[in-house]
Structure 1
Amino acid sequence: MNKPKLWTKSFISISLSNFFLFLTFYVLLVTLPIYAIQEFDSNASEAGLMTTVFLISAIISRPLAGQWLEKAGHRKVLLASLIIFAGASLLYFFPKTIIGFLAIRLLHGIGFGMATTAVGAIVADLIPISRRGEGMGYFIMSTNMAMVLGPFIGLTAMQQWGAKSLFIVSVVVAIGALITGLSVHVKETEQADHPVVHSAFSFKNLIEVSAIPIAIVGCFLAIVYSALLSFVSVFATEIHLSEVASLFFVVYAIVLLISRPFTGKWFDQYGPNVIVFPSIVLFAIGMFLLSQSSGAVTFLVSAGMIGLGWGTLFPTFQTIAIQDAAPRKRGLATATFLSIYDIGIALGSFVVGLAAAKMNYSTLYFLCSFYVLFGIVLYYFLHTRKQASSKEHQRSAELNNLHS
């Protein structure tokens, strides 16, 4: 039997658009705090606001975007958000004060939050149901590749050619996201078949309840991932491995590329539990190895283990969030999952930063390895047990129908 086609023109285009979105995000993530300190003579806390303001506006805009997807249609929201995102990228050349810069970060975050929500909803509709685990895995790889390339491109541009070149790069990449987004064709059949009733504004309309449990698990583990994003290069310097720090996420990405064809297919064939439980263990082992690193080999092996563990968990969690929602609620489910997940990233940077002030990074990552293992308990109670109970209830209902 032939498999339904996955690598369509629209799937490739939406994956590229997602790649360019996150590439812009990571190019600026690692460079704007440095720019704020050098250009505006900001202190560390003011420089940190460059990321905080962006993420807060993205988190707030996502539930609204999820609702707009149902009302206006996927393509309109996608294009509007990509225009806002590209337009905000052009504005970085103009502000002369830190306040002006933060205002642009606020606008940029709104575009990013809307765009990533629309992209996630569209790709969920483009991927055949029987290949959703595999397809989401490949799609999330576009984010992972941006995470590897973004910091390298951003720091290189800033160091070699200055801040203006950094902003030129971000504009070009953001326009790339818009161009590839324009070539995505979306069938808006869900809106036609299920007309939306325009009800009064309420909190329930902004959140997809079915996505909350798995989003909480993702948020819980994202705190540790945030500790990696923010401090792994600092830790590498602390243990005299600064020369291989840049290779950490390269190894992470290589392991992802190798493992992705298998893990996505296993999800589709055997369900999420076969993927999630081992991946949490691998993530914890990777964090433990990182905490014990004193040489390049252990440091890079830990990167591979974390790539196999967390790199597999994130697309799996997002796929679960989408599968548990009704078809017309996929946009809202994507928004709910990403918003709660981003809270974990934002909290992680702050909380882990406070913890790092009280202990060295080796101890911090050692404790993180046990924290990650607790994710098994959280996942079991919030998803596995609930899913088993739901199936049992469904079975009982079917048996009652047969006997009646």
Structure 2
Amino acid sequence: MSKSEHLTDRIWTKEFIIIFLYHFIVMFSMYVSIVTIGNFAIENFNASASTAGLVASIFIVGVLAGRAVSGYQVNRLGARKIMYIGTILFFLTYALYFIEGGLTLLIIARFLNGFSTGLISTALNTLATISVPENRRGEGISYFSLSFVLGSAVGPFLGFILLEFMSFNTLLILVLIAVFIVALLTPAVHINNVSRNYKPEVGKFKMIDKDALPMGFSVLFMGLAYAAILSFLNMYAIEVDLVTAASFFFLVYSAVVMLTRPFTGKILDQKGANIVLYPTFIFMAIGFYILGNSTTGFLMLLAGGLIGLGFGNFQSIAQTVCVNVAGRDNVGLATSTYFIMLEIGLGFGPFILGFLVPPLGYGGLYQALVFSILIAMIIFYFVYGRHESKERKAYDFEK
């Protein structure tokens, strides 16, 4: 391989690194606020527990709305322009946190800030996808998705620690400074997904890519299952007296994901999605079954590792599948479709699953969600898995 060929085959280019850092900081800011804003609402506005939950979760609804709008606009205007629009809106909506307007303004600020975050994230995911060589797309997306894993792990961890030493408003200022510093690097990103010859269909606004949507239903059922981890793990740990183990659950989960994603991405590029995705369903199902039967800290942490092998790797591989089955000009819309379906599961899952807790208990709920994982695997088999060889041949031919 010549030096020029080697350079064009690189993943960790200057632009990819900037996009990675920016997405990490944006995800970090998202999770810092999600885990701390509820208590802030209770202490400052005497909000009830349910209202505090709304203040936290309305952000996800905003993110979902931002993704729904930006998928089409990324294809029409270009990912880089959407990134800039989202960044400007992020700072404008973030300023609302510092205006004294009561609980109503706080909820509005949360939704709008989530909306801008959805714009930025969709644009950055699109830019990351098109910045890597097509023959290493699976590996590239696996690396890039670590920005989300790190943000979702470091954000809550640092958020709780920093609030011991500073006020919530000071924490918001520090997060704002971090976002601002990384945003200053974005002019160095010159890639874009819209070519000069690309002409979008006039008068047709789309939120969903029809080719990626079938795979999106598999993503939805996996997200539905994982929502139970995010929402009920702490209460389950209190119930079974495993709070200490639960505090390390996401650290084990994140460590397993970070260690395995680069390898699973390479396998995807070389061997296809089937050889990677079917094991992720199995690992996650076993992890949920063990979690539902956890009687010791070891079992709970073992479940965390297995779920990391499962859901942690499923996310990046499923995103790659959604992008690969979509048209070449629909990378942004396919990326948006993937995240919309994932966040529907994550966002609305707790509300639906909450009705199952009284009759099943938390442990029973985790065991029952093995069926949600199996449904996701069956969907994957019918929409992609059984004819992957044909999909790969068609994709290779297009390249």
Instruction: Kindly state the Cα deviation for residue 261 of structure 1 after the two structures are TM-superposed.
Output: 2.5
1:103 aligns to 2:108 (yes or no): yes
Pairing 1:26-37 to 2, within 5 Å after superposition: 26-37=31-42
CA contact (8 A) 2:215 2:379 kept: no
Instruction: Kindly state the Cα deviation for residue 235 of structure 1 after the two structures are TM-superposed.
Output: 1.6
Amino acid at match of 1:56: V
Pairing 1:140-155 to 2, within 5 Å after superposition: 140-155=145-160
Residues 131/42 of structure 1: CA separation in 2 closer, same or farther (3 Å cut):
same
Pairing 1:2-401 to 2, within 5 Å after superposition: 4-187=9-192, 190-197=194-201, 199-202=202-205, 205-385=206-386, 387=388
Residues 375/187 of structure 1: CA separation in 2 closer, same or farther (3 Å cut):
closer
Amino acid at match of 1:104: A
Instruction: Kindly state the Cα deviation for residue 250 of structure 1 after the two structures are TM-superposed.
Output: 0.7
132-141 or 157-166: which moved more?
Answer: 157-166
**2-side partners of 1:391 and 1:177: how far apart?**
37
Instruction: Kindly state the Cα deviation for residue 223 of structure 1 after the two structures are TM-superposed.
Output: 0.7
**2-side partners of 1:339 and 1:44: how far apart?**
27
222-231 or 165-174: which moved more?
Answer: 165-174
Local SS of the residue matching 1:7: coil
Instruction: Kindly state the Cα deviation for residue 206 of structure 1 after the two structures are TM-superposed.
Output: 2.9
Residues 340/187 of structure 1: CA separation in 2 closer, same or farther (3 Å cut):
closer
329-338 or 350-359: which moved more?
Answer: 350-359
Deviations 1:138-186 (A, max 9, x none): 1001100111111111122223323222322331233244234333221
**2-side partners of 1:46 and 1:153: how far apart?**
24
**2-side partners of 1:187 and 1:389: how far apart?**
29
Local SS of the residue matching 2:384: helix
Map of 1:398 onto structure 2: none
Gap runs ≥5 in structure 2:
395-399
Residues 177/107 of structure 1: CA separation in 2 closer, same or farther (3 Å cut):
farther
**1-side partners of 2:301 and 2:277: how far apart?**
23
Instruction: Kindly state the Cα deviation for residue 115 of structure 1 after the two structures are TM-superposed.
Output: 0.8
**2-side partners of 1:177 and 1:216: how far apart?**
34
**2-side partners of 1:390 and 1:310: how far apart?**
23
Over the aligned positions, Cα root-mean-square deviation in angstroms equals 2.0
Instruction: Kindly state the Cα deviation for residue 135 of structure 1 after the two structures are TM-superposed.
Output: 0.7
135-144 or 382-391: which moved more?
Answer: 382-391
Instruction: Kindly state the Cα deviation for residue 79 of structure 1 after the two structures are TM-superposed.
Output: 1.2
Amino acid at match of 2:199: P
CA contact (8 A) 2:221 2:372 kept: no
CA contact (8 A) 1:79 1:182 kept: no
Identity %: 30
Residues 182/230 of structure 1: CA separation in 2 closer, same or farther (3 Å cut):
farther
Instruction: Kindly state the Cα deviation for residue 111 of structure 1 after the two structures are TM-superposed.
Output: 0.3
Instruction: Kindly state the Cα deviation for residue 64 of structure 1 after the two structures are TM-superposed.
Output: 2.0
Instruction: Kindly state the Cα deviation for residue 360 of structure 1 after the two structures are TM-superposed.
Output: 2.2
Return the TM-score normalized by structure 2. Answer: 0.92
The number of residues matched between the two structures is: 389
Map of 2:397 onto structure 1: none
Instruction: Kindly state the Cα deviation for residue 303 of structure 1 after the two structures are TM-superposed.
Output: 0.7
CA contact (8 A) 1:208 1:336 kept: yes
Deviations 1:70-115 (A, max 9, x none): 2222211111102212332232122341101011012101101111
Local SS of the residue matching 2:266: helix
Residues 181/360 of structure 1: CA separation in 2 closer, same or farther (3 Å cut):
farther
The 4+ residue runs of structure 1 with deviation greater than 4 A are 386-392
Residues 17/303 of structure 1: CA separation in 2 closer, same or farther (3 Å cut):
same
Gap runs ≥5 in structure 1:
395-404
76-85 or 347-356: which moved more?
Answer: 347-356
348-357 or 103-112: which moved more?
Answer: 348-357
Residues 147/390 of structure 1: CA separation in 2 closer, same or farther (3 Å cut):
closer
**1-side partners of 2:289 and 2:113: how far apart?**
36
CA contact (8 A) 1:14 1:180 kept: no
Instruction: Kindly state the Cα deviation for residue 387 of structure 1 after the two structures are TM-superposed.
Output: 4.5
Residues 170/89 of structure 1: CA separation in 2 closer, same or farther (3 Å cut):
farther
Map of 1:399 onto structure 2: none
Amino acid at match of 1:163: F
